[in-house]
Chains A and B, each alone.
Chain A
């Protein structure tokens, strides 16, 4: 029944008029909150995300402290009104998992060893969701971390590729995510192109996977350029 829906038209364009390797429109702004030490706002298609960063600050409770480095705690949180059916507020299993993989990804770039026993807290608030929120959240969190003055080896951004109507496409929007055959979110850093977040759900052959990975990392590099621009806009005098 649902197979009738065509996600890629005769002309090779997707439902929202994009080409298969085209990102949705992305807008970034650095330093949008007053109280947080670092913050950023991001719009990515219909996704709207705001991130606040505190720290390095004292880690509580004591037992979670690491005497060799700072710990990074990302909290991914979806607003109740961010999706079509109201989401019950508070952490669920999905958000716990996303928070964990994003925290891990940041450990690969943040110079945590400079701040033993402390915590860097990253609050990712999804205000409106339309597929790809973990990528949007991570990309926005990078800007907020830079804004907070946290030393990092490199930028980090994320983007998904997936399979829709048998084709490998970049940056799935909601309908493609729901009806598509696979979703592969990837985070990487531009300088060494190493991959710090990778998840897959769906159905891909080895060849399709390689193609999707290539496409996703290409998208990541494009987004990193936008991050640089957004940061320059705020800090270049």
Chain B
């Protein structure tokens, strides 16, 4: 158990009840965001390091060729995986991904997939052969709200990805030819509910003190949602968060694009 966060739990909840946060942010305010495009650009097709407050996530894009899914023979394949590296938090362990990492990867995946951000139709090579885009999330530092940080890093990395050179049926590594076709910019916004208050962009302490969590990924429409945590939301609260997700997501989108 996270002893430190457990001790801070009541403190965070009392603050929230008084409409305050430990870092004196407003409830609908993101932490400071820092985006570094093409952070590791020599080997990977694309990458981005995003810092949201104390949270730091690196996403790298690798392209390879492979077989399409049988039900979508004309389309490329995208896959998102996430690793919570032990260096990012004393509570992360080595070994295969646990449910937290699986959820992180799948929520980021849904935002990108459902908004059709990557034009998978353009990743077709020939009968039985398509491009596969691997989006790997590497969590470097967990200061809370991994989903938004990873989601922003993933779409930033995709927007800045190159296509490897493809000649005579093989991928030529280290040489590139054009850009990865990306046409939309889905941005996730995560909220937590503490008591009857709704807070955007939670820190680890706020995540520990929360009752429930909701992530909403938007473009100009709603593309993905994921509720987490053991508490509940009213319909009214959900509608308020949807409005905020459109507004705050739009602000982040400008930084990314």
Listed in ascending order, the chain A residues whose CB lies under 8 Å from chain B are 66, 85, 93-94, 96-97, 99-101, 104, 107-108, 184, 188-189, 192-206, 209-210, 213-214, 217
Contacts and interface: CB of A to CB of B under 8 A. Distances in A.
Interface in B188-211: none
Interface string B216-237: 0000011111111111111100
B110 interface: yes
A197 B235 contact: no
Contacts of B180: none
B223 A199 contact: no
A195 B235 CA distance: 7
B103 A97 contact: yes
Interface stretch (B34-42, B165-173, B239-247): B239-247
B222 A217 contact: no
Nearest to A184: B225
B231 A93 contact: no
Contacts, number: 89
Interface string B95-138: 00001001101100010011100000000000000000000000
**What 10 A-B pairs have minimum CB-CB distances, sorted nearest first?**
A107-B230, A194-B232, A200-B225, A198-B227, A96-B102, A204-B222, A100-B99, A201-B114, A196-B232, A93-B102
Given A94-B106, A199-B227, 20 more contacts: A93-B102, A93-B105, A93-B106, A96-B99, A100-B102, A104-B230, A107-B230, A108-B232, A184-B225, A192-B232, A194-B234, A195-B234, A195-B238, A196-B227, A196-B232, A198-B225, A198-B233, A200-B223, A201-B223, A203-B222
A195 B233 contact: yes
A201 B188 CA distance: 13
Contacts of B239: 210
Contacts of B243: 206
A183 to B, nearest CB: 10
A203 B114 contact: yes
Contact of B224 (A97, A195, A196, A201): A201
Chain B interface: which size bin?
20 to 34
Contacts of A204: 221-222
A86 to B, nearest CB: 13
A201 B107 CA distance: 9
B234 A200 contact: no
B221 A100 contact: no
A108 B99 contact: no
Contacts of A201: 110, 113-114, 223-224
A209 B222 contact: yes
A108 B230 contact: yes
A203 B230 contact: no
Contact of A203 (B103, B223, B225, B234): B223
B228 A104 contact: yes
Nearest to B214: A198
Contact of B102 (A97, A184, A202, A205): A97
B114 A100 contact: no
A99 B99 contact: yes
Nearest to B216: A200
A83 to B, nearest CB: 12
Contacts of B105: 93
Given A93-B105, A206-B243, A199 B225 contact: yes
Interface string B36-77: 000000000000000000000000000000000010000000
A209 B221 CA distance: 10
A198 B246 CA distance: 18
Contact of A209 (B70, B113, B227, B242): B242
Contacts of A194: 232-234
B229 to A, nearest CB: 6
B99 A198 contact: no
A207 B222 CA distance: 10
A93 to B, nearest CB: 5
Given A104-B228, A196-B232, A206 B102 contact: no
B230 A199 contact: no
12 contacts: A97-B106, A99-B99, A108-B232, A188-B232, A194-B234, A195-B232, A200-B222, A201-B223, A202-B114, A204-B221, A206-B246, A210-B239
A100 B103 contact: yes
A199 B221 contact: no
Contacts of A101: 226-228
Nearest to A95: B102
B122 to A, nearest CB: 17
